[in-house]
Amino acid sequence: MSKIALQLRAEELIGTRTVIVGERGRGKTLLTAKLLEELARLYPLSEITAIDMAPTTLALSSRLSDFTKLVNHIRYLAPPVVRAPRIEARTRDEVLELAEFNKRVIDPLLDEFLARSTKVLVVNDLTIYFHRGSADKILLCAAKSETFLANAYMGESLAEWDRASGVSRREAEELKRFIEQSASRVIKL
């Protein structure tokens, strides 16, 4: 984690759309969890929602619940199973099937937030949704919150496992579109 990121305080996030990006293993989820804990000092817990999209099937990514017990006291929305399409799949079709599975289990959580939004929305592993889902739905969610904080994979290490599915290209394009249209701050780890 960079020194700049460690110096970031939750007060600086109020009223912003912040996206933490970086290669896998850079500490994106850890930083997000720390900032979530700080945001909980500034907002009532009932006004905080976290949507966790991190894969549950492999140890390569982490859920917010791995770093903070605060998820037990806020509205924490997480599918029981999220797949890691590029890592788990052996063929192009399997990558696309797993990405579609993830979209199907994440969409209801986004709909739940849109139906009953809170002042704070924190999203872990945003780019998992972008494999098949549109930035448009995330843009709607961000617009419904006063403060938006998310982390997202941005790198090259997973591209070799794309299996010609186009998932890596789509993920990067949707993330770029979201950042260009909504983010007021991008933190690169």
Backbone angles phi, psi at 179, to 5 degrees: -60, -45
Residue 2 lies in a domain: no
Q: Give pLDDT, residue 124.
A: 98
Q: Give pLDDT, residue 7.
A: 63
Residue 75 lies in a domain: yes
Measured from the Cβ of residue 67, the count of other Cβ atoms closer than 10 Å reads: 19
Residue 171 lies in a domain: yes
Give the closest residue to 18 by CA, choosing from 115, 28, 136, 27. Answer: 28
Domain CATH code at residue 67: 3.40.50.300
Q: How many domains is the chain partitioned into structurally? A: 1
Residue 179 lies in a domain: yes
Could you report how far apart the first and last alpha carbons of the chain are, in Å?
A: 6
pTM: predicted TM-score of the whole model, two decimal places = 0.94
Residue 5 lies in a domain: no
Domain that holds residue 169: 16-188
d(CA 15, CA 154): 24
133 near 106, Cβ under 8 Å?
Answer: yes
Mean pLDDT of 110-131: 98
pLDDT tens-digit map of 41-70: 999 999 999 999 999 987 666 999 999 999
Positive or negative, the Cα torsion across 22, 27, 31, 37? Answer: positive
pLDDT tens-digit map of 7-24: 677 889 999 999 999 998
Tokens matching residue 187:
């933190």
Q: How confident is the model at residue 79 (pLDDT cuts 50, 70, 90)?
A: very high
Residue 11 lies in a domain: no
Q: Give pLDDT, residue 120.
A: 98
Mean pLDDT of 135-158: 94
